[in-house]
């Protein structure tokens, strides 16, 4: 099924969506963790930091869904930025002078040393401007092979890297909603259902088909989102 998934992806990339006003971004009050407080940067601030970094990157997580919808609809406690693992050292260059901590092993944070190549099992990097500062950005690393993105959840699911992202009218790159929803499909938290319901009416038929196929392959056709995706645009779900 990987080949059909890849072909459908090629037909939906390159979309440009309207931008929403960055000042209206809704954030939660500071979130306290065992490793310090979170006060996330805004999508605009992230774009200013990573623009010109020399590697593809995308706003991910809940903000990616919101950018696809075109208007804020829920609060956010952090902000995710996706890069390919092969480009990981670009993060250190873009965030020069910041602290970088890798979730290695998951559930812990360890300093990420300058020039260090993180191993395949490490996907999350927390970034802040200093030891007394709040965490501002979480970087997520994903896999690739040649010109293809490869899902770290299931290597059978892949698509051209050039089709991974869209960009707002204001120049903010973000992960296409079908890929972000694929990663959200495993956890099915309340906010994931909120995101799915908010963006579902905006998904094109090729996006619905790609996500339905990916979920069936990785999670099984009994997943609650599968039937809703196959109902097609305009259906009451």
Task: Give pLDDT tens digits for 109-156.
Answer: 999 999 999 999 899 999 999 999 999 999 999 999 999 999 998 999
Pairing label, strands 165-168, 16-17: parallel
Name the DSSP class of 12.
T
Other Cβ atoms within 10 Å of 151 Cβ, number? 20
Task: Give pLDDT tens digits for 151-188.
Answer: 998 999 999 999 999 999 999 999 999 999 999 998 88
CATH number of the 2-230 domain: 3.30.460.40
Report the mean per-residue pLDDT for the chain.
87
CA distances from 186 to 34, 92, 154, 189 (A): 25, 30, 12, 9
- Per-residue model confidence (pLDDT) at position 28: 57
Q: What is the pTM of this model?
A: 0.85
Count Cβ neighbours within 10 Å for each residue of 105-141 and write b for 16 or more, e otherwise.
eeeebeebeeeeebeeebbbbbbbeeeeebbbbbbbb
Average the pLDDT over 192-197 and give the result. Answer: 96
């Amino acid at each position: 099924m990987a080949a059909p998934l890849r072909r459908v992806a090629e037909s939906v990339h390159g979309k440009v969506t309207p931008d929403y006003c960055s000042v209206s971004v809704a954030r939660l009050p500071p979130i306290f963790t065992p490793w310090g407080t979170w006060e996330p940067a805004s999508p605009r601030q992230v774009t200013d930091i990573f623009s010109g970094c020399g590697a593809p990157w995308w706003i991910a997580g809940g903000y990616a869904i919101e950018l696809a919808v075109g208007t804020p609809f829920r609060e956010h406690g952090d902000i995710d930025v996706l890069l390919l693992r092969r480009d990981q050292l670009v993060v250190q260059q873009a965030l020069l002078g910041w602290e970088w901590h890798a979730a290695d092993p998951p559930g812990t944070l360890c300093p990420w040393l300058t020039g260090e190549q993180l191993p395949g099992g490490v996907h999350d990097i927390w970034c802040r401007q200093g030891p007394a500062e709040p965490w501002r950005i979480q970087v997520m690393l994903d896999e690739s092979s040649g010109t293809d993105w490869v899902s770290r959840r299931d290597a059978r699911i892949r698509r051209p890297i050039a089709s991974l992202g869209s960009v707002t009218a204001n120049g903010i790159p973000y992960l296409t909603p079908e890929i972000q929803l694929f990663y959200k499909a495993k956890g099915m938290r309340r906010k994931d259902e909120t995101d799915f319901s908010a963006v579902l009416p905006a998904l094109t038929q090729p996006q619905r088909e790609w996500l339905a196929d990916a979920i069936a392959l990785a999670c099984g056709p009994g997943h609650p989102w599968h039937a809703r995706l196959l109902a097609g645009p305009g259906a009451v779900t």
